[in-house]
Amino acid sequence: MSEPILRVARSPELPAVLDFWRTAAENDSRPPDTRAAIEALHAHDQGALILAVDEGRIVGTIIAGWDGWRCHLYRLAVAPDRRRAGVGGRLIAAAEERFRSLGGTRVDAVVLDANERAHAIWSAYGYRRQGEWSRWVKPLS
């Protein structure tokens, strides 16, 4: 197994990213991602979706969203056969470097409370659960 290349997603790869998330990401308690949504993300900020690619295969993703004030991480996902091999950590580090280059000073990560497997990697990279805040959501459609 070779070391994956980290790079931003290209427009033609967006459907493959959606397919990847169906098998590699936690999807049980969230609305499904759509092609329109991922295309809107890519059109708005082409550098936000970072991929780990090994021999043409997507093996990891992270969305490093920057709103001009705060840094937000979403959709850290690693192929099941590549977990615990450093791919997730490399994606987190690449996202943090992107934020630093944009002038970001603080980052948060959206992590499902029930996804206990994910808690370990976020803790290992210095992230801590913020108990005094809650995330409030409302579908716009």
pLDDT in tens, the chain (141 residues): 789 999 999 999 999 999 999 999 876 667 778 999 999 999 999 999 999 999 999 999 999 999 998 999 999 999 999 999 999 999 999 999 999 999 999 999 988 888 888 899 999 999 999 888 877 877 776
Residue 75 and residue 119: Cα distance in Å, rounded? 13
Provide the whole-model pTM.
0.92
Task: Provide DSSP, the chain.
Answer: -PPPEEEEPPGGGHHHHHHHHHHHS--TTSPPP-HHHHHHHHHH-TTSEEEEEETTEEEEEEEEEE-SS-EEEEEEEE-GGGTTTTHHHHHHHHHHHHHHHHT---EEE---TT-HHHHHHHHHTT----TT---------
Q: Tell me: the pLDDT tens digits for 58-68?
A: 999 999 999 99
